[in-house]
Amino acid sequence: MADEAQQPRPEFRMQKMYIKDLSFENPHAPEVFSAQGQEPSVEVNLQLNNKKIDDENWEVALQINAKVVNKSDKKVLFILEIEHAAVFMMKNIPEEHIAPLLGVDCPTLLFPFTRQIVSQASIDGGYVPFMMEPVNFVALYQNAQKKKQGQVEKQD
């Protein structure tokens, strides 16, 4: 029991959130706003990046590229690119828990804020709110782990 009391407690929290890069292109404005029958086609790419800043802090960044095109005339309505990041403090976290925190917990905390920024940028661009679908970061992390495992097995 005495050993448990002396063990440092794990600490995990978001320290700071910030936009590293934000671009909203509205190439066919204002003509696009008067076009009839706009049924958009949406292409979204998401990338998750992280880097260690020091012994206790990590930067986790969501990079999202979204392209919205009018299906009928194939004109680009808008292109939105964002790199939204946060610094997470991870103190006294066992090494085996770092990767799941970086791949699941950190982006899960960050994503709702990123989604709100994207939505507001589309509104400010003259469109209805662009509401990105929720992301299952657990599934993404598990798939990435399976791919890594498959690559390791192929090398053996």
DSSP labels, 28-81: TTTHHHH-SS--EEEEEEEEEEEEE-SSSEEEEEEEEEEEEEETTT--EEEEEE
User: What is the domain range of residue 86?
Assistant: 8-150
| C-beta separation of 24 from 48 below 8 A | no
pLDDT at 156: 52
45: in domain = yes
* Residue 1 is assigned to a structural domain of this protein: no
The reply to whether 2 falls in a domain is no
pLDDT tens sequence across 49-67: 999 999 999 999 999 999 9
pLDDT band (50, 70, 90) for residue 72? confident
Question: What pLDDT is attached to residue 155?
Answer: 57
Cis before 30? omega within 30: yes
**67 within domain boundaries:** yes
Residue 155 lies in a domain: no
77 located within any domain = yes
What integer is the mean pLDDT of 58-77?
94
122 or 34, greater pLDDT: 122
> Does residue 23 fall inside a structural domain?
yes
Query: What CATH number is associated with residue 70?
Result: 3.10.420.10
Once rounded to an integer, what is the mean pLDDT over residues 61-84?
Answer: 94
Instruction: Record the pTM.
Output: 0.87
Quick one: what percent of the chain has pLDDT higher than 90?
Answer: 76
Q: How far apart are CA 85 and CA 108, in angstroms?
A: 12
Number of domains in the chain: 1
Asked whether residue 16 is domain-assigned, the answer is yes
